[in-house]
């Protein structure tokens, strides 16, 4: 489950305080805690002694203590103390007593966990959320669970045609369709679609963000292993970029960590108060449609897709993920300096 040698968000950093925190990620039960220096640590949530969840215990001197017999483990998962053993715990770290560990990083308000168990170094760093440290931007965050795979949730987040139906009136009205050009650029580790000549979405959100109407600049992107990103430039003064980290919790269950940064000519707090209820309503609609999709996939014994050019990014995202899950990257016809390109025209 998931892509090897890459990073996924385990939780918002503010969730992890003095107490241990139990999380599920990549089909694993993990315990997160802070060591004596305040650094986040991640271990399997299972004591090597008698299998009790370490998350039920407490943090003592930067080590996590099992609630059953008091065994303590450091940030690397090594057994550091067994109550009752003599000789100053020299025997505590004997072979077979360690708990598997995972690398962590804390950045942009999130706690990231590396997907390869036991790795001592990473081959890359986590994705950097844009504009979160820029004082000209306001950033709002939200966490949402979905029934469905990373691919299904990413495609939904980046799919333009469904907005006129699932979100009718909120994002697009579903009225007269207009032709727009799309340029798709494919890199070894990501794919991007730029929509050229797109009119401002005519739903409530579009009218709030750009009351004057007109054309917008719009990009949709997917970055391995789990980032879906939507960016809108509305005139010279308004810019919105939503980056969502999609963490596979278990098979067909995905947790979305959304970070939305925006710059507007009106105060960010006011914009946030106006748009948040609409955004949550849109998310609720997506949660319901993906739950029904997953229910039907199970009922029919698996997924089956028929795609058209309107499915601009979905098939390419699925291909990127399948390659990455095997430890590969897109190579044919795509490079960092010279991406593979294709152009098409669609009506939305």
Question: For 157-186, how does the pLDDT look when each residue is reduced to its tens digit (9 = 90+)?
Answer: 999 989 889 998 877 666 667 788 999 999
What is the predicted pLDDT for the residue at 60?
Answer: 96
What is the predicted pLDDT for the residue at 265?
Answer: 83
Rounded average pLDDT over 280-290? 95
Q: Quick one: DSSP state of residue 2?
A: -
Question: For 21-73, how does the pLDDT look when each residue is reduced to its tens digit (9 = 90+)?
Answer: 999 999 999 999 999 999 999 999 999 999 999 999 999 999 999 999 999 99
Peptide bond into 225 cis (omega under 30): yes
- For residue 214, pLDDT over 90 is answered with no
Question: For 10-22, how does the pLDDT look when each residue is reduced to its tens digit (9 = 90+)?
Answer: 999 999 999 999 9
Distance (Å, rounded) from C-alpha 320 to C-alpha 175?
34
Distance (Å, rounded) from C-alpha 166 to C-alpha 97?
52
pTM reported for the whole predicted model = 0.92
pLDDT band for 129, please (50, 70, 90 cuts). Answer: very high
What's the CA dihedral at 244, 197, 316, 149 to 10 degrees?
A: 30
What is the predicted pLDDT for the residue at 91?
Answer: 62
What is the predicted pLDDT for the residue at 201?
Answer: 72
Please, what's the b/e burial string for 137-148 (b: 16 or more CB within 10 A of its CB; e: otherwise)? bbbbbeebebbb
Portion of the chain with pLDDT greater than 90, in percent: 72
């Amino acid at each position: 489950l998931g892509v090897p040698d890459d990073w996924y968000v385990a939780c918002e950093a503010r969730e992890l305080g003095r107490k241990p925190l139990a999380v599920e990620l990549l089909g694993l039960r993990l315990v997160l805690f802070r060591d004596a220096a305040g650094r986040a640590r991640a271990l399997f949530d299972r004591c090597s002694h008698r299998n009790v969840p370490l998350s039920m215990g407490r943090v003592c001197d930067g080590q996590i203590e099992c609630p059953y017999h008091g065994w303590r483990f450091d940030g690397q998962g090594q057994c550091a103390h067994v109550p009752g053993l003599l000789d100053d715990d020299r025997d505590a770290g004997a072979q077979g007593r360690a708990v598997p560990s995972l690398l962590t990083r804390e950045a942009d308000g999130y706690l990231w966990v590396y997907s390869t168990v036991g790795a001592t170094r990473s081959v890359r760093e986590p994705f950097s959320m844009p504009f979160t440290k820029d004082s000209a931007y306001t950033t709002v965050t939200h966490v949402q669970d979905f029934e469905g795979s990373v691919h299904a949730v990413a495609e939904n987040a980046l799919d333009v045609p469904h907005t006129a139906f699932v979100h009718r009136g909120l994002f697009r009205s579903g009225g007269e369709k207009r032709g727009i050009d799309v340029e798709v650029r494919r890199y070894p580790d990501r794919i991007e679609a730029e929509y050229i000549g797109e009119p401002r979405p005519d739903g409530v959100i579009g009218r709030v963000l750009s009351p004057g109407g007109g054309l917008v600049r719009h990009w949709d992107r997917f970055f391995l292993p789990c980032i879906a990103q939507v960016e809108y430039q509305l005139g010279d003064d308004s810019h919105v970029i939503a980056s969502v980290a999609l963490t596979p919790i278990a098979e067909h269950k995905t947790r979305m960590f959304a970070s939305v940064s925006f710059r507007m000519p009106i105060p960010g707090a006011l914009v946030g108060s106006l748009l948040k209820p609409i955004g949550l309503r849109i998310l609720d609609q997506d949660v319901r449609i993906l739950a029904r999709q997953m229910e039907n996939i199970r009922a029919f014994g698996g997924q089956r897709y028929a795609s058209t050019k309107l499915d601009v990014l979905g098939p390419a995202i699925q291909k990127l993920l399948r390659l990455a899950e095997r430890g590969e990257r897109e190579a044919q016809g795509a490079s960092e300096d010279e991406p593979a390109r294709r152009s098409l025209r669609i009506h939305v």
